[in-house]
Amino acid sequence: MDALDYMAKKAKLVDGEINKWIPPGAKPKVLAKATRHLLEAGGKKIRPALALTAAEAVGGRAGDALEAAAALELLHTFTLIHDDIMDHDEFRRNVKTVHVLWGEPVAIIAGDALFAKVFGAVAANAKRRKMDGLRTAELLEVVSQASFEICQGQAQDMLFETRWDITEEEYMEMVGGKTGALMEAATKVGAMLGGGKSKEVEALAKYGRLIGVAFQIQDDVLGIAGEEKQFGKPIGSDIREGKRTLIVIKALKTAGPKEKKLLLQTLGKPVPKKKLLAAIETLRSLGAINYASRKAESLIKEAKNQLRILPNSDAKAALLAMADFIVKRDF
């Protein structure tokens, strides 16, 4: 069972659905282009794949959650477009970002427009599945709540930029919002639309949030300890940008005065490569990289543990393998 192949196959199912919600011929043209830009540039479509696989894992079919799966990718894409504006990022998925190509106002509107469609698509899914009023409302509430949490996480992350005394608890809360909430919504909504029992829905929701948080932590590990070529962005750019990763938070907490001084002289500064490598070495010698790695592994273990209540199936196996893949991947 190759989890990636399985998930990629599921992800492919949503491409046509996404086109229905954000059609190439929408008016005005610039809005159609700007909303579709990142969607057309690719992306692994992890969230739709999770939603469809979760629907299967509770005994439904992938198609049961099709519109909602597309909606989750629209939601993810909307957050990317707005994040890129805020972070002044110029490239994503190997193409120029929306605000670089069309300016900030169009990028703001394009994100808003994608976000607007999210709820229509989820509602249409519930309608097609003939869900009752209560379940329909709950589905929408899950997506609404996740969207709000993403905003909270993004705001917290922004506030971190002015502080070095962030606690691990604060970090986990921020990442739970920024990355965990949407992964949770994906598996939860998929399980609901697949007709899962309430215990199954809750288990898959927890699984989603846990792998989401693990994904982000592992991302930070790879950003520092990974292979540049495989990871796709320069190693240490997180350090140059002064990103408050779990690694940095742990290191600053553990460090003695001398190490702390070295780290604070490097983090967020345009330092030469030599100094950068020294900082990475410090993070490593303080055990901070290892700590983050093990944290990700333990979250993955907890995530997999959630799935024990599900009957065995290809979908369940794919979700288990997906969880493992998150901490084993090298990109």
Contact range with its own copies by CB under 8 A, out of 119-127, 276-284, 292-300, 303-311: 119-127
The answer to whether residue 100 forms part of the interface with its own copies (CB under 8 A) is: no
Q: How far apart are CA 142 and CA 108, in angstroms?
A: 24
Residues 12-51, one symbol each (x = binds its own copies by CB under 8 A, - = not), give --------------xxx-xx--------------------
Which amino acid does the sequence have at 293?
Answer: S
Binds its own copies by CB under 8 A, chosen from 16, 23, 42, 120:
120
The answer to whether residue 229 forms part of the interface with its own copies (CB under 8 A) is: no
For 92, phi and psi rounded to 5 degrees? Answer: -155, 140
Binds its own copies by CB under 8 A, chosen from 3, 70, 72, 131:
131
Contact range with its own copies by CB under 8 A, out of 125-133, 201-209, 239-247, 268-276: 125-133
Q: Is residue 257 reached through a cis peptide bond, with omega within 30 degrees of 0 on the bond before it?
A: no
Binds its own copies by CB under 8 A, chosen from 9, 93, 96, 135:
135
| Distance of closest approach, residue 30 Cβ to its own copies, in angstroms | 6
Q: Read off the tokens for 280.
A: 């990475």
Q: Which is nearer to its own copies, 176 or 212 (CB)?
A: 176
Secondary structure (DSSP) of 185-248: HHHHHHHHHTT--HHHHHHHHHHHHHHHHHHHHHHHHHHHHS-HHHHSS-TTHHHHTT---HHH
Q: Which is nearer to its own copies, 1 or 134 (CB)?
A: 134
The answer to whether residue 167 forms part of the interface with its own copies (CB under 8 A) is: no
How many residues are listed for the chain in this entry? 331
The answer to whether residue 106 forms part of the interface with its own copies (CB under 8 A) is: yes
Instruction: State the CB neighbour count (10 A cutoff) for residue 2.
Output: 11
Q: Which is nearer to its own copies, 27 or 308 (CB)?
A: 27
Q: Do 124 and 66 contact (CB within 8 A), yes or no?
A: no
Q: What pairing do the DSSP bridges indicate for beta strands 91-92 and 95-96?
A: antiparallel
Binds its own copies by CB under 8 A, chosen from 15, 89, 112, 259:
112
Q: Which is nearer to its own copies, 53 or 154 (CB)?
A: 154
Nearest to 23 by CA among 70, 89, 63: 70
The answer to whether residue 101 forms part of the interface with its own copies (CB under 8 A) is: no
The answer to whether residue 90 forms part of the interface with its own copies (CB under 8 A) is: no
The answer to whether residue 134 forms part of the interface with its own copies (CB under 8 A) is: yes
The answer to whether residue 176 forms part of the interface with its own copies (CB under 8 A) is: no
CA terminus-to-terminus distance, the chain: 20
Q: Which residues contact 295 (CB under 8 A, 6 or more apart)?
A: 214, 217, 246
Q: Do 141 and 119 contact (CB within 8 A), yes or no?
A: no
Binds its own copies by CB under 8 A, chosen from 43, 93, 152, 225:
152
Beta bridge partners of 96: 91
Contacting residues toward its own copies, per CB under 8 A: 26-28, 30-31, 82, 85-86, 104-106, 108-113, 115-124, 126-127, 130-138, 140-141, 143-145, 147-148, 150-152, 154-156, 158-159
